[in-house]
Amino acid sequence: MIRSLLALAVLLTLSAAAQTDWHPPASDPRLLLWPSGAPGPQTATGPEHDTTTSQDHLVAGRPVIRLGDVSAPTITLFAAPAARNTGAAVVVFPGGAYKILAIDLEGTEVCDWLNSIGVNCVLLKYRVPDSGPWPKSAAALQDAQRAMGLVRQHADEWQIDPHRIGVLGFSAGGHLAAALSTHFEQRLYPAIDAADQLSCRPDFALVIYPGYLSIAEKNFEFNPDIPVTSAVPPTFLVQAEDDPVHVENVIDYFLALKKAGVPAELHVYTHGGHGYGLRPTSLPITTWPHTAEIWLHTIGILPGPSQEEPLQ
């Protein structure tokens, strides 16, 4: 009887969540990307809402907010505490197969971690569904380009160093991080204001269990729509060998970066699957945030020496 009541309570909670729009804290600065409406076709079929149901799997024993039908993309600043603010910033791209956004698992929870290490976080709520991958749709990449320009435009106001702004993306958001890292020389939309005159090139990138970077139908050939050159920013890559989205995505991208002379760091783990975000489990792959923090010190984005222990 008790188990039945608990199951019913969970079901009612998830059902209620599915009817509730997600909103960031009112205290955090939030900007609408497109004041006069986003360019291109509208793909949302209803109001923005949490699409999670009782059938969706839990991650580390907890539910995930799966935000759908996003038609009015925004950026929200999660500022690092003033006493710890290093001036670095990361624009975060949640994943969700370009259909939904895992807005807490791969969004707000990431911002909490970044703030804890003195990094400002800017969460991009980009358009879904059917907003990527580029060039199938330009929508998500347009949103990413616009977001990076807006962050640089507000850098002084937000106490951010405009030369230490990176991107971090998961799954489809990992692909979006790679796409922005390789498509920054020309905007995919007509300029709107001064923000679009500023560079949208990230200063560094973290690409976590990405998709769409290798083509399974072509024997995992590297995706030619991600044109890697020496101008791509330093990149940190993580994926599990047993990821159903296929580990070739990070391996192929790493090899392309290496060939172009781009500093890159690759971490492949035996087990981990897909879609774990930052939630800790018994699997070593969920320690990747600590490794990423070391890398940020190593490449000079965070101040001070690397946290790596010297070899004895």
Secondary-structure percent of the chain, ordered helix, strand, coil, rounded to 5: 30, 20, 55
- Is the pLDDT reported for residue 312 higher than 80? no
State the pLDDT confidence band at 17, using cuts at 50, 70 and 90.
very low
- Is the pLDDT reported for residue 149 higher than 90? yes
Phi/psi of residue 264, each to 5°?
-145, 150
Which region among 110-119, 122-131, 155-164, 296-305 has the lowest average model confidence (pLDDT)? 296-305
pTM of the model: 0.90
Whole-angstrom Cα distance, residue 10 to residue 185?
48
State the pLDDT at residue 29: 81
Whole-angstrom Cα distance, residue 138 to residue 170?
18
Asked whether 119 and 167 are in contact (CB, 8 A), the reply is no
- Is the pLDDT reported for residue 7 higher than 80? no
Tell me the two tokens of residue 57. Answer: 């799997």
- Is the pLDDT reported for residue 306 higher than 70? no
State the pLDDT at residue 12: 35
- Is the pLDDT reported for residue 200 higher than 90? yes
State the pLDDT at residue 9: 36
Whole-angstrom Cα distance, residue 91 to residue 88?
10
What is 151-209 written as a DSSP string?
Answer: HHHTTTTTT--TTSEEEEEETHHHHHHHHHHHS-SS-SS---SGGGGS----S-EEEES
Tell me the two tokens of residue 30. Answer: 């939030």
Query: Crossing angle of helices 139-153/172-182, nearest 10°?
Result: 70
State the pLDDT confidence band at 8, using cuts at 50, 70 and 90.
very low
- Is the pLDDT reported for residue 4 higher than 80? no
Q: What is the mean pLDDT of residues 267-286?
A: 96
State the pLDDT at residue 27: 60
State the pLDDT confidence band at 22, using cuts at 50, 70 and 90.
low
Tell me the C-alpha to C-alpha distance, in Å, between residue 259 and each of 166, 207, 232, 253: 22, 18, 12, 10
Taking all residues of the chain, what is their mean pLDDT, rounded to a whole number?
91
Tell me the two tokens of residue 123. Answer: 């969460």
Among residues 95, 92, 43, 93, the alpha carbon closest in space to that of 69 is found at 43
State the pLDDT confidence band at 23, using cuts at 50, 70 and 90.
low
Asked whether 295 and 287 are in contact (CB, 8 A), the reply is no
The number of CA neighbours under 13 Å toward the Cβ of 56 is 21
The answer to whether the bond into 63 is cis (omega within 30° of 0) is no
Environment class of 96 (CB within 10 Å of its CB; exposed 0-12, middle 13-18, buried 19+): buried
Which domains does the chain possess? 2-298 (3.40.50.1820)
- Is the pLDDT reported for residue 245 higher than 60? yes
